[in-house]
Amino acid sequence: MKLLTPLFRDREIIGPVQEEGRVYFRSLESVADLAWEFGNTVNNIKDFFFPPRQVLYELTGGGVKDAIPAPAGRRVILFARPCDARAIEILDQLFLNDFRDEHYAAQRENTLIIGLSCPEPDKKCFCVSLSGGPFSVKGMDASVCDIGNDEFMVGIETGKAENIFTGQGREAGSDALNRAAEMKKKSEEKIKRAINIPADMLQKFDSDYWKAASAACLTCGVCTYLCPTCHCFDIVDERFKRVRCWDTCSSAMFTRLASGEDHRREKFKRYRQRVYHKFNFYSEKYHETACVGCGRCARYCPVKMDIVEIVNNLK
Amino acid sequence: MKNVYTPESARISSVKIETRDIKTFKLVFEDENARNSFVFAPGQFVELSAPAAGEATFCIASAPSDRGYIECSVKRVGRVTEAIHMLNPGSIVGIRGPYGNSFPLEAIKEKNVIFVGGGIGLAPLRSLIREVLARRNDFAEIKIIYGARAVRDLVYKDDLDEWQTRDDINTILTVDPGGETPDWKGKVGFVPAILKEIAPAAAGSVVITCGPPIMIKFTLAALNGLGFQPGQIITTLEMKMKCGVGKCGRCNIGPLYVCKDGPVFTCEQIKNFIEDVF
């Protein structure tokens, strides 16, 4: 608590809060609102760089008014799990390269990500099989690990976080380091679930397997909205505002042309697109699998579809 | 700091009615810098906005050598195209672009070039045809096979007339059975069928095709039968798009984004996903 209070001065703090029996990332009023005991939050931190709805620009009497965020103060995202932090680096590749997305960039530059290590992964987690891990620090500016005895191991991972904990704590001794290493090992061993992306996945694109595998899917989009790496969006005009909002490739309208032509009319084609985009196509272009193994899609799917099983069983 | 989602203003300088549902808009950028810095190659597209209605993708139908303006042909099929159709000369629209890749002009030099177009699919081809004809001697034989559902659905009738009078290219026009008028002098038959009839030689040739998916499907089959390899066939894909800059995911197909890696592709590049598209 004491460690964090100084952070709240002059900064917007976003962190996990308890809300009706679940934990969500929200903007916090004070340290007291923080939830300390949680597996992972329902939503993830992409919400704060790529919000569900965002004005791109506005047409006014005086011409075009850009709506690129110009944040007044700085922000800190507290206690992002390693999977969620790593996902931001994956999104960076998409939003910041080539036609740089200034709406995303503005929030990204302005935000410090403080991660929280994961000593108790749950049974849906599978980050290890995707080059992640419960004690990974990728994507974090600073990392925090609860090593028991009311002590926290803090790692300064990037230059952005250099001064935020100045004057607090002391250099970690070998005892603390050992305890952290021990927790890391135990945590990694707890993750039994693993995804095995078949080497011949592309060859199985036309397999009948996809019809059966996708049969239960409702195309509700929950998996997409809660996924830390999903980033598809729609752009619409709301009178004189041009707005972008989250969309899902599982939606029946996603690829529908005004003429009625649609190369993914059938649901199985859309489900297949989602799986291939995450585990095959994206990595061909960006050299990273577009999945961090957070397990939210399996945890929250209303019909209990499990992407790990679906990929592992691909015939 | 450039907002990639903000359009540049352009004024409609003229509107040409091509058919009952297709209009060609001549657009001139309002800002002089924008006018001078807009450099494009045949095959590229723009995102055209009808203010307060929405934005949609249109290929540039004019050629780079048509200086001072660009042309977009718009078929009225939905909400945004309806809004664009209601605009008159003098109205302001928004343009983002040029986006996408372009036809490989260098790679097709000295070859026989066969254009196969259907309906509004002639729009992107027209940009290339105009450019190719401006440097006629760089290419060997040129054939244009173009058809539409009916005589009244043929677009760019002025260009078609001009192409037909030239003796250094071979222009074959066709309409679907039942679409002919009593004084129609062209062929009658679906484009792929006419293509089979013309039976161009595959050796030293390249085909550039654009049209409705069903036409492309049968055209590819016909070309396969004539011995054309996938690498000899170039097409330009149409897919629902939103951002036009490879971020929103909508035009993603395989590892490709139609807005960035395309819209121009050889059939070799998309052969793994051809079933998914046509």
> How far does A41 lie from chain B, in Å, by closest CA?
25
pLDDT confidence of residue A152 = 87
Is A237 part of the contact surface with chain B (CB cutoff 8 Å)? yes
Does any CB of chain B come closer than 8 Å to the CB of residue A267?
A: no
Name residue B25's beta-bridge partners: B15, B72
Residue pairs spanning A and B at CB distance below 8 A: 112
Once rounded to an integer, what is the mean pLDDT over residues B7-14?
A: 96
What's the DSSP call for residue A229? S
Q: Does residue B204 lie in a domain region?
A: yes
Q: Rounded to 10 degrees, what is the CA torsion of A100, A103, A109, A115? A: -110
Looking at CA atoms only, how far is residue B53 from chain A in angstroms?
6
Residue-level pLDDT at B234: 97
* Domain end call among B75, B99, B123: B99
Gap between the Cα atoms of B206 and B108, Å rounded? 7
Return contacts of B177-183, CB within 8 angstroms, 24+ apart. B178/B150, B179/B148, B179/B149, B179/B150, B179/B151, B179/B153, B180/B150, B180/B151, B181/B151
- Other Cβ atoms less than 10 A from the Cβ of B213: the count is 16
Inside any domain, residue B247: no
Q: Is residue B189 located within the same domain as residue B77?
A: no
Per-residue pLDDT, B130: 95
Kindly give, in sequence order, each residue whose CB lies less than 8 Å from that of residue A163, ignoring residues fewer than 6 positions away. none
Residue type, B37: S
When pLDDT is cut at 50, 70 and 90, the band that residue B154 belongs to is very high
Q: What is the pLDDT of residue A112?
A: 93
Chain Cα centroid distance, residue A78: 14
Neighbours of A72 (CB within 10 A): 8
Give the N- to C-terminal CA distance of chain B in Å, as an integer.
39
Interface test with B, best of A257, A262, A279 (most B CBs within 10 A): A257
Is A233 at the interface with chain B, CB within 8 A?
yes
- Nearest Cα residue in chain A from B5: A56
Q: How far apart are CA A193 and CA A183, in angstroms?
A: 19
Give residue B22's domain range.
Answer: 8-99
Q: Is B245 on the interface with A (CB under 8 A)?
A: yes
* C-alpha–C-alpha distance, residues A185 and A91, integer Å: 28
B152 and B227 in a single domain? The answer is: yes
Q: Does residue A127 sit in helix, strand or coil? A: helix
pLDDT in tens, B118-127: 999 999 999 9
Q: Would you state the structure tokens that stand for residue B106, as one six-digit string?
A: 């260098």
pLDDT of residue A266: 96
Residue B61 resides in a domain: yes
Residues 81-110 in A contacting B (C-alpha not used; CB under 8 Å): 94-95, 98-103
Same domain? For B79 and B151 the reply is: no
- d(Cα A17, Cα B14) in Å, to the nearest integer? 58
Same domain, B18 and B135: no
Locate tokens 């990332």: which residue?
A25
Q: Is A59 in the B-facing interface, judged by CB distances under 8 Å? A: yes
Q: Which residues in chain B are contacts of A101 at CB distance < 8 A?
A: 4, 247
Q: Assess A7–B contact: CB distance below 8 Å, yes or no.
A: no
Structural contact between residues B225 and B251, judged by C-beta atoms closer than 8 angstroms: no
Q: Does B113 lie in the same domain as B205? A: yes
Q: Give the CATH number of the domain where residue B214 resides.
A: 3.40.50.80
| Phi and psi angles of residue A47, each rounded to the nearest 5 degrees, phi first | -55, -25
- Token pair 């790593």 is found at A86
Q: Do B88 and B113 belong to one domain?
A: no
Based on the fold, state whether residues B137 and B222 are members of the same structural domain.
Answer: yes
- Tell me what the mean pLDDT of segment B238-254 comes to: 95
Could you tell me if residue B271 is inside a domain? no
* Intervals of chain A under pLDDT 70: 1-2
Query: Where does A97-198 have alpha helices with state H?
Result: 102-110, 174-190
Q: For residue B113, what pLDDT is reported? A: 98
Chain B residue with minimum CA distance to A235: B242
Which residues between 6 and 35 in chain B have a beta carbon less than 8 angstroms from any beta carbon of chain A? 6-7
* Chain A CB within 8 Å of residue B89 CB: no
**Average model confidence (pLDDT) across chain B:** 95
Chain A 106-125, CB below 8 Å of chain B: which residues?
A: none
CA distance A47 to A245: 11
Distance CA A217, CA A252 (A): 12
- pLDDT tens per residue across span B171-207: 999 999 999 999 999 999 999 999 999 999 999 999 9
pLDDT digits (tens, 9 = 90+) for B112-147: 999 999 999 999 999 999 999 999 999 999 999 999
Whole-angstrom CA distances from A180 to A140, A177, B155 are 17, 5, 71
Structure tokens at A19: 């809300």
Task: Say whether both B51 and B130 belong to one domain.
Answer: no
Rounded to an integer, what distance in angstroms lies between the CA atom of residue A250 and that of residue A272? 9
pLDDT of residue A121: 94
When CB atoms are compared, the residue of B1, B248, B277 closest to A263 is B277
Query: Where does a domain end: B82, B99, B116?
Result: B99
Look-up: residue for tokens 């008159």?
A: B88
Q: Considering its fold, how many domains does chain B have in total?
A: 2
| Same domain as B146, residue B206 | yes
Task: Say if B223 falls within a structural domain.
Answer: yes
Beta-carbon separation of A249 and B5 below 8 A: no
Q: How far is the C-alpha of A45 from the C-alpha of A229, rounded, in Å? A: 10
Please spell the DSSP secondary structure of B23-77, one letter per residue: EEEEEEESSHHHHHH----TT-EEEEEETTTEEEEEE--S-TTSTT-EEEEEE--
Same domain flag for B123 and B228: yes
Q: CB B247 to CB A94 under 8 A?
A: yes
> For the sheet containing B205-210, what is the strand order?
B187-188, B170-175, B142-148, B112-118, B205-210, B233-236, B264-266
Nearest-angstrom CA–CA distance, B105 and B220: 21
Percent of chain B with pLDDT over 70: 99
* One domain for residues B115 and B152: yes
> Tell me: the pLDDT tens digits for A21-65?
999 999 998 888 899 888 999 999 999 999 999 999 999 887 888
CB contact A202 to B (< 8 Å): yes
Distance of CA B8 to the CA centre of its chain: 22
**A261: closest chain B residue by CA:** B213
B214 interface with A at CB cutoff 8 Å: no
Cα–Cα dist A66/A172, whole Å: 47
CATH number of the CATH domain containing B47:
2.40.30.10
Residues of A whose CB is below 8 A from B7: 64
**Does residue B18 lie in a domain region?**
yes
The verdict on a CB contact (< 8 Å) between A242 and B249 is no
Q: What is the pLDDT of residue A1?
A: 64
Question: What is the enclosing helix (H) or strand (E) of A144?
Answer: strand A142-146
How remote is the C-alpha of A172 from its chain's centroid?
Answer: 30
Query: Whose structure tokens read 């403080």?
Result: A114
CB of A287 within 8 Å of a chain B CB? The answer is: no
**What are the residues facing B70 on neighbouring strands?**
B27
How much is the pLDDT for B229? 97
Residue B248 lies in a domain: no
Boundary residue ending a domain (B41, B66, B99): B99
Same domain, B120 and B189: yes
Q: How many other CB atoms sit within 10 Å of the CB of residue A292?
A: 31
Which of A100, A235, A259 is nearest residue B77 as measured by Cβ atoms? A259
Q: Is residue B212 part of a domain?
A: yes
Chain B positions in Cβ-Cβ contact with residue A57 (cut-off 8 Å): 3, 5-6
CB contact under 8 Å between A233 and B52, yes or no, is no
Residue B29 with chain A: CB contacts under 8 Å: none
Chain B CB contacts of A239 below 8 Å: 52
Distance (Å) from the alpha carbon of B77 to chain A's nearest alpha carbon: 6
**pLDDT digits 0-9 by tens, B257-278:** 999 999 999 999 998 877 667 7
Judging contacts by C-beta atoms under 8 Å, the chain A residues touching residue B253 are 263
